[in-house]
Amino acid sequence: MGECCNGVLPPPQRHQQLFHTRVSRDRRLLKHVYDNVHGNIYLDPVCLKFIDTEQFQRLRDMKQLGLTCMVYPGAVHTRFEHSLGVYWLANEAIECLQTYQGLELDIDHFDIQTVKLAGLLHDLGHGPFSHLFENGFLPRVLTGSKWSHEHMSGMLVDFIVDEHHIDIDSDILGRVKEMIVASCNVSAPKKSREKQFLFDIVANGRNGIDVDKFDYIGRDSRACGLGCNFQFRRLMESMRVIDDEICYPAKEYLTIHKLFATRADLHRTVYTHAKVKAIELMLVDALVKANDFLEISSHIYDPSEYWKLDDTIIKTIETAPNPELQESRDLIRRIRRRELYQFCNEFAVPKDELEHFKNITPQDIVCSQRATGITLREEDVAVSNVKIDLTCGNDNPLRSINFFKDYESGGKFPVSDDRISHLLPVSYQDRIVRVYSKKPELVEAISEAFENLQLRMFGVKAQVHDTPDKKKRRK
């Protein structure tokens, strides 16, 4: 009676049916844990086989936001919590699709199990301090490395199955690994074109809307004490698959824009906070100096050794007596005592320079120094080149998303910004260059060299802040 001609229930009946489906499900075989973001999370027996391994439990020793807790004290949540959260949201997302379009999409147990496992295992391959390891440390010690935590996640999945003799269908395992690397293999030919919409759920390389973002945006905002009014459940309960692609009601255009804008705000205020970046630069230097002795980078292709790396490496360096680690120990001690690299200044790259802008290096700063009584060296300077976007560089990610008019219509279409609002941005990327002095006494000299660089590049000083020394003199 209440069903539309295309087999999709209108929203009120759909929500009611979804509720009864969840309540009536037999959960006697499921273990439940309480999560401070999503409430009760129910873990199935197959997923528990992976969770109850030392390789997965390693995620408890890896903070989700790395060293951000040095600035936001509450940001001590871990990759373990996040992985459980993504598992649960992946489960809820496919439940929504199964309830609303199950017969039409032929969603079966195989599909449900692969999506849930992909959500659970997607971050297995992260290294110590997460993105710092992959984007900060490895490029310094392995020039041109193509290593990614997504591919290491796939290697660790295989290792866990072999090491713990987990009885699991090889087709499920293969599909899980495909889903994990989906976001970084966007242009690669797909091994299977069947039910491609399933690859949009955990790591969406098509348009960036996935349950991974749903979880970390809410979880990170909560941990850092920031408000988050993005309602991801509204999107999950209204999405629909059309032509093998997850689409959204056109009326949710601004809701989706808020998803990307909230993510960008987190990058600006939390992930790339000037103090956070100073601490990260120091830790990268410490890891680079310790690499030859500890051979950290030698394990990145060997899952049997790699899984032993986690955030506790900082304590290993800090407490080791070896003289080879003295420089690294000194840097970590400076972090503990808040004797950080000193922020000199920053500037935002002008909009018309974004397309061809190249990262600034310490060499660029040193070469811009005028004759003074102080001679700067590259090792005295640290530079952070920050890029903040809406996931697609200087492109609007909403152009990659398809919408539908209502639940009775069968077509999908893109929506342009000017049809929604004239208040939306015309540029979708910020690039910020920050410069730090590794020695307090060089702050003013490095700041002046940085100003000279801006004059040479843009003809004006792009920065809007005084240097720390000038602020002190003014006070």
**pLDDT tens across 246-256, in order?**
999 999 999 99
CA 250, CA 84: separation in Å to the nearest integer? 31
Architecture of the CATH domain 11-275: Orthogonal Bundle (1.10)
Arithmetic mean of pLDDT over the chain: 89
Measured distance CA(9)–CA(466) in Å, rounded:
60
First to last CA, the chain: 75
Pick from 74-78, 380-384, 427-431, 437-441: least confident: 427-431
| Interval 82-124: pLDDT, tens | 999 999 999 999 999 999 898 899 999 999 999 999 999 999 9
- Distances, alpha carbon 451 to alpha carbons 55, 369, 378, 430, 435, in Å: 48, 9, 16, 20, 11
Going from the C-alpha of 162 to that of each of 150, 156, 157, 438, the distances in angstroms are 19, 10, 9, 46
Strand pairing of 342-348 and 429-437?
A: antiparallel
pLDDT > 70: what percent of the chain? Answer: 91
* Domain-wise residue ranges, the chain: 11-275, 341-390+428-475
pLDDT confidence bin for 15, thresholds 50/70/90: very low
Measuring CA to CA, which residue among 367, 379, 386 is closest to residue 285?
379
Name the catalytic one among 122, 149, 257, 273. 149
Confidence class for position 26, pLDDT limits 50, 70, 90: low
Instruction: State the amino acid at position 223 in one-letter form.
Output: A
Same topology, domains 11-275 and 341-390+428-475? Answer is no
Centroid of chain to Cα 421: 28
Longest CA–CA span in the chain (Å) reads: 86
The pTM (predicted TM-score) of the whole model is 0.90
Dihedral class, residue 162 (left if φ above 0, else alpha if ψ from -120 to 50, else beta): alpha
Task: Give the pLDDT score at 380.
Answer: 97
Residues 119 and 202 sit within 8 Å (Cβ to Cβ): yes
Phi then psi for residue 167, to 5 deg, are -85, 105
Q: Catalytic site residue 149?
A: yes
The rounded distance, in Å, linking the Cα atoms of 336 and 332 is: 6
Predicted local confidence at residue 21, as pLDDT: 42
- Among the four given CATH numbers 3.30.70.2760, 3.30.70.1450, 3.40.50.740, 3.40.50.970, the one describing domain 341-390+428-475: 3.30.70.2760
Q: How far apart are CA 99 and CA 107, in angstroms?
A: 10
